[in-house]
């Protein structure tokens, strides 16, 4: 899995329920790859703090407004993302534009309207969609603490995600035991790193 020193990093996005970016990070580090795991929303910025307060039900925002804040939160990280990738660091990101569009359109906003502010953000080389039924997800812990975590909403969300599948999309069967899920992730991620090391260009949304 050796790559030449001037090859770029890969942009890998985890979407769906129960993401595990950290796990893939430590695996790639063991193999000697430069890798960072990020997540959106990035709650450390000013925009991120507005989002965080909304998600914790401490403030109310109109659906369109919060949608644009989530998008702005990705735009404010775009140039750093690009320089990391170009300097050879692979980024594994928990949630990205696909969550942005899927969540807002599941709330009832028009999907094309939701996609528009994401145009020009970096396109992932790989989207790992952790596919699990909404019912099964509901059995797992931590349910019901923030907005969005109701079963009916999760069902709409799954439909919205499916409508967003593109060329970078890989479904990962996340209802299998965790070891099997991690094995699927490792194989798919290594494949992607190989392709990016072979000169695959960095593209922009939407593919
Ligand atoms: N979310 C996340 C959105 O609605 N839009 C977005 O663009 C993004 C990135 O925010 F419910 C939702 C998804 C989730 C919440 O929770 C963030 P986590 O636990 O920090 O992923």
Helix (H) or strand (E) holding 63: helix 63-75
Residue 95 CA, ligand 1 centroid: distance in Å: 7
CA 114 to chain CA centroid, nearest Å: 16
* 182 in a structural domain: yes
**What pLDDT score does 136 carry?**
74
Assess if residue 206 is contained within a domain.
Answer: no
pLDDT at residue number 153? 85
Residue from 72, 74, 99, 142 whose mutation best tests the ligand 1 pocket (most atoms within 8 A of CB): 99
Are 142 and 26 contacting, i.e. CB atoms less than 8 angstroms apart?
Answer: no
- Chain segment 104-113, per-residue pLDDT in tens: 999 999 999 9
CB atoms within 10 A of CB 159: 12
Which ligand 1 atom lies nearest to the CA of residue 103?
4
Buried-exposed string 67-90: b where 16+ CB fall within 10 A, e elsewhere:
bbbbbbbbeebeeebeebbeebbb
pLDDT of residue 159: 94
Name residues contacting ligand 1 (CB within 6 A): 40-41, 55, 70, 95, 99-100, 103, 148
pTM here is 0.92
Q: Which of 95, 134, 144, 145 to mutate to test the pocket of ligand 1 (most atoms within 8 A of CB)?
A: 95
Strands 169-173 vs 126-131: parallel, antiparallel or unpaired: parallel
Structural domain count of the chain: 1
- Give residue-wise pLDDT tens across range 20-32: 566 777 888 888 8
Question: Is 1 domain-assigned?
Answer: no
Q: Is residue 5 part of a domain?
A: no
Split at pLDDT 50, 70, 90, the class of 145 is: low
Is the CB of residue 73 less than 8 Å from the CB of residue 47? yes
Q: How far is Cα 161 from Cα 60, in angstroms, rounded to an integer?
A: 25
**Domain range for 189:** 11-196
Let me know if 188 is exposed, middle or buried by CB neighbors in 10 A (0-12, 13-18, 19+). middle
Residue 201 forms part of a structural domain: no
């Amino acid at each position: 899995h050796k790559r030449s020193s001037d090859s770029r990093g890969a942009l890998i996005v985890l979407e769906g329920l129960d993401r595990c970016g950290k796990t893939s990070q430590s695996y790639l580090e063991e193999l000697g790859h430069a890798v960072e795991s990020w997540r959106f929303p990035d709650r450390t910025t000013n925009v991120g703090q507005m989002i965080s307060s909304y998600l914790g039900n401490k403030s109310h925002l109109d659906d369109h407004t919060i949608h644009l804040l989530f998008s702005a939160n990705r735009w404010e990280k775009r140039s750093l993302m690009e320089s990391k990738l170009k300097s050879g660091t692979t980024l594994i990101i928990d949630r990205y534009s696909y969550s942005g569009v899927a969540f807002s359109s599941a709330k009832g906003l028009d999907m094309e309207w939701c996609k528009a502010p994401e145009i020009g953000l970096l396109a992932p080389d790989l989207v790992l969609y952790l596919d699990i039924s909404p019912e099964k997800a509901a059995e797992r812990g931590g349910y019901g603490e923030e907005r969005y975590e109701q079963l009916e909403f999760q069902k709409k969300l799954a439909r919205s995600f499916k409508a967003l599948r593109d060329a970078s999309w890989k479904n990962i069967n996340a209802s299998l035991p965790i070891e099997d899920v991690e094995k699927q992730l490792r194989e798919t991620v290594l494949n992607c790193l190989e392709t990016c090391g072979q000169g695959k260009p960095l593209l922009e949304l939407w593919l």
